Each structure stands twice: as structure tokens, then as C-alpha cells.
Structure 1
Amino acid sequence: MNKPLSPVLAEKLATLKENLSRFPKVSIAFSGGVDSTLLLQVAVDVLGNAVLPITVNGAMLPSSEFTESQALAKTIGAVPLVIEADVFSLENFVKNPADRCYHCKKFIFTQIKDAAQARGFEVLLDGSNWDDMKDYRPGIKALGELGVFSPLKESGLTKQDIRDLSTYYNLPTATKPAMACLATRIPTNTPITPEALAAIEAGEDFLKSLGLSQYRLRLLGDTAKIECDPDDFAAIIKNRLSLIDTLKKLGLKTITLDLAGYNCGNMNG
């Protein structure tokens, strides 16, 4: 582990461990992102093998993220249960209303909870953190309705706290860019199709290959709007021709770069 934690962060970590120790065993909705990875690490530290990570695989998440999550869990010492979720069977996912995330979260977490309970795990945890309360997160309502416990949030851990603790635990996710469901790249009330999600995933895979630190490929009809950190604009321009060629092969006709840069939640509302 790295240098000692600050007194404030050390106290938050102690609170997190105390919150986790209240349960004899837990299941964790595990995506392999920054938050759920730290939660899994600390839970395994506290509860050992009485922890069941559950990963949902589906069209709404990049296949590369799924693969990485499975390898990451293995390094922590846990083997996730994998659930396949057909989000296209959910009408309110396809229609993409303003509260799509609520319906999708309810749909997915109901399956996670059922799978956990079928294996004797009554307590289900997720990686929501303190900062999630500040953003538009309709999915949080679904978690509350299903009785999902969010120990990172309850322990007062912010996103930066979680990154700092991830560094402390030498987790590779400490500097991992924020990740979100691919459907967040499509404007509200624009129907979501398998083809659209596949195009977004392939386009973002190319952006990732350029070494960008944070990025999104927003889909506006047949127009791609790229958002990234302004420091990465040079990489976009340098690889402009190959980027255009890649995206046009995916059926996109116009390729744009948002000069305002990456901004979380641009498709909300």
C-alpha cells in the first residue's frame, strides 16, 4: 500500500469497514468501475469469501468493460456471478424517456437481487457514492425501492475519496475514467436500437485506442458528437482522418468535436 491516509479519509474507511461488518455476508452489484471495485476490495478484506459479486452483461455496456471486470475481480480474490440482461425487452429502455435509468435500474437490479437471494445472499450492495446525490440520477430511486444498501454513500465517501482509497489499495481503477451505460450517449426520447449502441461502442473503442483520458461519443441521429478533455483535442486532430473513416463505416455521416469538452450528464433531461 502507499503512503498513510489523511485522518479524515482514514476515519471514512473505518466507517465503511464498520458498515460492512454489520452483515454476515453480502452480494455486490459489480461493474468493474471505480466505485464497485473499491467496494469489492474492502468487502473482501472485511468479510473474506462471504462476498458474492454479481456482474450484469448486456448491450448497454461495452464488452471490453465486462472482460476487464471479470479479470479485476479475480485479482481481488472473488469470482463474479454473471447475469445476462436483455434490456431491449424493456419497453421503457427502448423508448428512452427521461426516467429511462429508473426503469432500467429497476429491471437489472431486480434480477441481481433475485439471483443473490436464490444463493442465500439477502443483503445487496451497490457502489453509489456521496457525489451521486448531487447529479440527476433517477436510478437511485429504484435502488431505494429494492432495498439496496450503498455503503460508500453511507460512509460519506466522495468520488475523489474513492479514487484516493483505490490508490491506497493499489487498485488499477484509481485513475480509470468515469464510465456509464452506453444509452446515456443518446438524447432523451430518441429510441435506442442495438445498432446505435453497437456504433457508439465501436466508436468509443477507437477513441480509447487514441489514449484519451475521458471521452464520450454522443449520437445525434447520423451525427457523432465527440466530447473529450480539451487536452486531448490534439490527439483527435492528429488522428482526424482515421477517426472519420472509422465512424463513417459505422453509418455516421457527420463527425463533430464539442469545443466545450467532456461534460457528465449532457444527455440528461
Structure 2
Amino acid sequence: MKPRYEQPGAPDGTTFNCFIRRQEAFGLAWHHHREYELTLITEGTGTRYVGTTVERYLPGDLVLLGPDVPHTFASEPYDGMAEAAVAQFRHDFLGPDFFALPQFRTLAGLLARSARGLRFSQVPAEVPALLTVLPRLDTAVQTVALLDTLCRLSADATATPITGPGYTPAPSSTVSDRIDAVCRHLQQIHTEPVHLADVAALVHMSPTSFSRFFRRAMGRTLTDHVNQLRVETACSLLTGTAWPVMEIATRSGYQNLSNFNRRFRELKGLRPTQYRAAHRLAGVV
């Protein structure tokens, strides 16, 4: 995609940035930057957009995104606040050759793998505590604590890539503004019938031009994007309610159960009933 370019920068007295992001809601704002970004969701739920992938996030969700990986986090309605602990740093924040040292070979491999974004399913218990306290530490201790966090994560062999290829990160405010408008609209109406002409009209484009634009920007078709949104909605309903699968399919935007089952299995690798059972066994419900 051609997302908005951001320059987070670093406070005086240090070479990286860490903070607690706490808002009523995280708004959808597709962007990229030169910094690596480590984000731990501490409160609230929503949808995480990274490259070509759309996934739901929950408290405890931890991802590491490499430089220029386009992304955004969009909150779901929630009575409390949306909150995340965030650390942003450049590859040379400890010096130009620091990660080339042999003792940091594993850590360098972690950073290399983050070029596609990484999600951590088995977060070491110490990592959330380190990330949430990071902004309150003295800068020297803060730096050691961030390095400690990254070293712990580099030992996690279960970290999986988030996105595939297809998007093109490049600074263009016109493109990012259009994509923001479309994604916000789809976030609100994806459980209803979605018509290409209506979405194209939202950004004053013809359906044919919009189809090319969207695929070039997002790395997937409009239909693929809507299916990802619908399946993530279905996942939330499968783990958060006892509704029958047919009702969940309908509430997620599918009028045909076989189509819902097919799309769900394509994206999640499981049938809806298997997904519900697996997450109940894991203690999600």
C-alpha cells in the first residue's frame, strides 16, 4: 500500500522512543515509518491491519513490525480506554554495527524476520512487565530493558509472520487519505452487502479505476479485504457467543453457509466449529 509516512523521532537524551498509547479509541490511520515498532495491546480489542493482512487483536497481543511495514490499529466499541505499550527504534539506535556483533546474531535474525511483521503467540511473562514500565525508567536503564525485551523475544521460535508481499509502502497523502476513507467505511458496513460502485464513489473513482487502485495500494482485492473483515468478525462471535454457526455467518455478512465455511477455512485453516472448540479449550471463552 502507499501509506502515510510518519517520523516518530526520539526524545532528547535517548536514541529511541517508548510510550503508553492511551486513548478513547485507536482510529484507523494507515501509515509507515523507518523505525521498528514493538506494540503490546494492554487494554481494548479491535482490528489490526498490517501489510496485506487484517486480523482481530485482543489484550496481550504483541507484534514486532519492521521498518516501512504499513500498519494501523482500529478499536472496536468499548466502555473503557484503548491502551498499548509501544517502543519504536531504528536499526542503528545502539550504533551502526551493534547487531552485527556475534553475540547478537539471534537478535539480528529477529529483526530481519520482522520485515513481514511478527506476531508472538507465547509471550514470555517478563516481556509485558518490561514494556509497560519502560517509559518510566531512567534512559540508561530503559535502553538495557528494551534490549533485554528484544533478546527474550528473539528466543521465541513460535513467532509467525503476519503479512505476505503485495503492498507498496510509499509516502503519498492522497493515496493514504483515500484508503483511510475506504477502510473506515468498510469497517462499519462490511457485515452488510458491499457494492464496488458504492465504495468507488466514496473516493470519486470509477469502479474499474478503483479496483486497480485498491489492489495496487493494499496488495489484495476489495473482495479479499471484505472477506478478511467478515471472518474476523465471525471469529469474535464464535469465541464470544453461543450463537449457532448459521446465525454467526449471517451476522458476519454471509447469506450462504457453504460460502462462509469455505472463506473461513481459507483464512483460518479450520472450520468455524473447530475454531470455536480450539479457542474454548485454550480458555478464551
Q: Do these two structures clear the TM 0.5 threshold for a shared fold by scoring above it?
A: no
- Greater fraction of residues in helix: 1
Tell me the TM-score normalized by structure 1.
Answer: 0.28
